[in-house]
A and B are shown apart, each in its own frame.
Chain A
C-alpha cells in the first residue's frame, strides 16, 4: 500500500511543480533564488502509476469506468486531485485512465485509514483524537437531552462560542446546529468514558490525518524540510531559510487544498513568557515571507515557546534543535 501512495504522491507533486513559475515571486527575494535550487524537472511516472488495483471498498474500477469524462473531472477535483488532471483546450480529459487509477488509490488510502480507526479500542481512539487536538467533554445521557444553557456552557468552554446564535435575552436560537457542531468537533464521552460519537470522531480524524500525512509524504518526496532553525534570541529569516520557505510557497500554490499551521518554538533559556513571544515572532516572520505569495489566508500561526522541545537537556545540541518553526499542513 505504501508504495502506491508514494507513487501517487510523486505524480501530484512533480506535475504541480511544472506549473509553478518562479516569476511569481515577490521582488524582495528575487535575488536570493538560484533556479537550480527549486525542483523544476518533471519526471514522467505515468507508467508506474498503473499498478493493478484489486482491493477497493469504495469506488470500484467498474463504477468509475462507466462515468463520463466530465463526471470524472468533477470527482477528481472534489478529491483534491485537480493537479494531475490533463485537460486540452476544448476541455476534454486527456488522461482518463490515470485519473481513474488515482481515484482508486485515493479511495484506498482513506478507506485504509477508516478501517484502522474502526479497529481501535475506545481508549486508543480517544487517545488518537486527543493527540490530533480534539477536545473531549463528558455528558451524562445524550447531547440532545441537555438544556440549552448546558449546551451554551459546553460550547463556550470548548472555544466554540462562534457557533452560538443567541437572542437578546441570551436564549439559544440554533440548538440543532450547535448539537451538530459539538458532535462533529468534540469527543463526546458518557460517564463511563465511552465515546458516544464514534463515527464523527473517526470522520474528523480521517480527514485531518490523511491531509497531514499526505502533505508530509509529498514534502518528503520532494526533499523539502518542514523545520526551520534559528539562532539564540533571534527570529531573522536568513537566506537558507528563505529558500526553504519559497519551496513551501510553491508547494502551497500547487496544493490549494492544504492549509498551513506554523508552530514557533524556542529553547529553554530565558523566561517562559518571553520565549512564547519569541516563538511567535519566528513563526510570524515565516508567514510574512509566505505572505508575498498571497497565502496569508491559509496560514495560522501558533507559538509554544519553550514548552514543546524536540530534545530535552540543557546543552547546545538540544537548544539548536529546539529553536525552530515547524510547518504542519492540515
Chain B
C-alpha cells in the first residue's frame, strides 16, 4: 500500500517579490464540501522562505469549492486519533513533514488517511530545491485533490491578468501585464505601459503570452516569452486592427482578429511559415476566437445576424453553426477543457453575466448576479472559471467553483485588475 516516489521541483524565479498585491476573499461558501483536516506540517531544518505550507494547501482546497479543510492545533506525530476525527465528522486527515536534506535540497513527506477505514490513501515523498516551498505546497494540493476526488487539481498553475492604476505623479493610467500563482501570490510584472494592454493569452506550453498593446497608437498583437528577458515580438504588421489572439493547442498557430479593408475576420497565423489563413469571411464583425481543446474547432463572437451571438466553426468541414440562441447578446466564448461546454458573457436585461453553455444540448446556465462580467477562462481541470467583474465600481477578478458556485475574489488595494487568463499545469 505504501509507496514512495521522488520527483524534483526546481527552485523557481527567486526574484519574485514576497508582497502580493492581490487580496483574496471567499464568498457564498456552501456546506456541501468534503470535510477534511490538513494538520500543520512538521518543519525539520532551516528554511529561508517564511511559508506556512499547510495553510497554503488548506486555502487552495477551500477555494476550489470542493473541500472544507480545517487545521488542528498540533502536529500529527504519534498514532492518529481516528475516533476524534470521526466524532468531528472529518472524512480524511492529511499530515506531513518538510525535512532539509542538504544546503539546497529538501524533502516533503505527505500522508493522506481515510478516517473511516483508518487506512492510508496516499503516501509520497517529494524532493524540492530551496525557494520552491510555495510551489511544493501547490503541487501537494494537486496530489491531495487527486487522491480524494480522483480528478486533477488546478493549483500548480498560474494566472495572467492586466492591472490598471493611476500614477501618483500625474494621474495617468499605468497598465501592467502580470502573472501570479493561481492564488494571486508571487505576482510579477511582465509588461508595463502607459497605453492599454488587452487580451493576454498563455500558450499551451506556458512559455509565451500573446497580448494586444496600443503602444504604437493602434492595436497590435505581441508575443512575450514570459520567463526570458527578451523584448516582446510584434506579429507582422497587418492593415487595420490586429487583436484577440488565441493560441492553437499545437503552439505553432495563433488565431487573430484582423481588420483588412475594414472587415473584421478571424485569421490563423502560422509562426513557422509566417502565413495567414482566413477562417471567417463574413462582412459582419467576427472576433474573440477560442480553440476547442482538440484544435479542430473555433468558437467566436459575431454580429452577422444583427445580434451579437456565439458561433462555432468546424475547421475541417468549414461548417459554421450558431451556438447560442438564448438572449440578444452572447460573446467571448471559451471552451471547457473537455470541449463540451463554453463559458461566455450573456446579456440579461441590462446586465452582462457569466454563463455556461452546454454545446450539445444548447442549455445555457447563468452563473452570477453581476452587472458587468467579462473575460471568462476555465481552470485547466475545468472545475473553476476565472472572470473579471466590478465591485464598488472597481475591476476585480473572480473565480467561481462549478461544484457549488462558491466565489473567490481577487482584488488590488488600489486600481483595477482585469483580463484574466489561466495557464496550463506548471512544469
Binding site for B on A (CB under 8 A): 127, 130, 133, 135, 153, 156-157, 159, 161, 233, 268-274, 276-278, 280-281, 284, 301-305, 307-308, 312-314
A191 to B126, CA, bound (A): 45
Summarize A's interface: helix, strand, loop or mixed: mixed
When A156-B234, A269-B352 are in contact, do A314 and B390 touch as well, CB less than 8 Å? yes
The segment from B27-35, B55-63, B239-247 found at the interface with A is B239-247
Q: Return chain B residues, CB-CB under 8 Å to A268.
A: 372
Q: Which residues of A contact B216 (CB under 8 A)?
A: 135, 159
How large, as a class, is the contact surface on chain B?
35 or more
Closest B residue by C-beta to A313: B393
Are A308 and B196 in touch, CB under 8 angstroms? yes
Partner among B240, B287, B372, B393 whose Cβ is within 8 Å of the Cβ of A273? B287
Please give me the residue from chain B that is nearest to A158 by CB atom. Answer: B216
Beyond known contacts A274-B308, A274-B332: 20 more, CB 8 A cutoff: A127-B170, A130-B194, A159-B220, A233-B329, A268-B372, A270-B329, A270-B352, A271-B288, A271-B301, A271-B332, A271-B375, A273-B257, A274-B285, A277-B285, A277-B287, A281-B262, A281-B285, A307-B198, A308-B196, A314-B372
Assess whether B374 is in contact with A314, with CB atoms less than 8 Å apart. no
Question: Is B264 an interface residue when CB atoms closer than 8 A count as contact?
Answer: yes
CA distance A272 to B196 in the complex (A): 11
Shortest CB-to-CB span from B191 to chain A, Å, is 12
B198-223 contacts to A, CB under 8 A, are 198-199, 212, 214-220
Q: How far is the CA of A308 from the CA of B164 in the complex (A)?
A: 12
The interface of chain B, by Cβ under 8 A from chain A, is: 170, 194, 196, 198-199, 212, 214-220, 231-232, 234, 237, 240-241, 243-244, 257, 259, 262, 264, 285, 287-288, 301, 303, 308, 329, 331-332, 345, 347, 352, 371-372, 374-375, 390, 393, 419
Alpha-carbon separation in the docked complex, A159 to B375 (Å): 28
Q: Can you list 18 A-B pairs with a CB-CB distance of less than 8 A?
A: A135-B216, A157-B231, A157-B232, A159-B220, A233-B329, A269-B352, A269-B372, A270-B345, A274-B301, A274-B332, A276-B244, A276-B287, A281-B285, A301-B240, A307-B198, A307-B214, A313-B393, A314-B372
Shortest CB–CB separation between residue A205 and chain B, in angstroms?
15
A259 to chain B, nearest CB (A): 13
- Asked if residues A278 and B285 are in contact (CB atoms below 8 Å), the reply is yes
> Whole-angstrom distance from the CB of B386 to the nearest CB of chain A?
15
Residue contact A276 to B243, C-beta cutoff 8 Å: yes
Query: Contact partner of A274 among B214, B219, B287, CB < 8 A?
Result: B287
CB–CB B308/A233 < 8 A: yes
- Asked, given contacts A133-B217, A277-B285, A301-B240, whether A307 binds B371 with beta carbons under 8 Å apart, the answer is no
Query: Shortest Cβ distance from A159 into chain B, in angstroms?
Result: 4
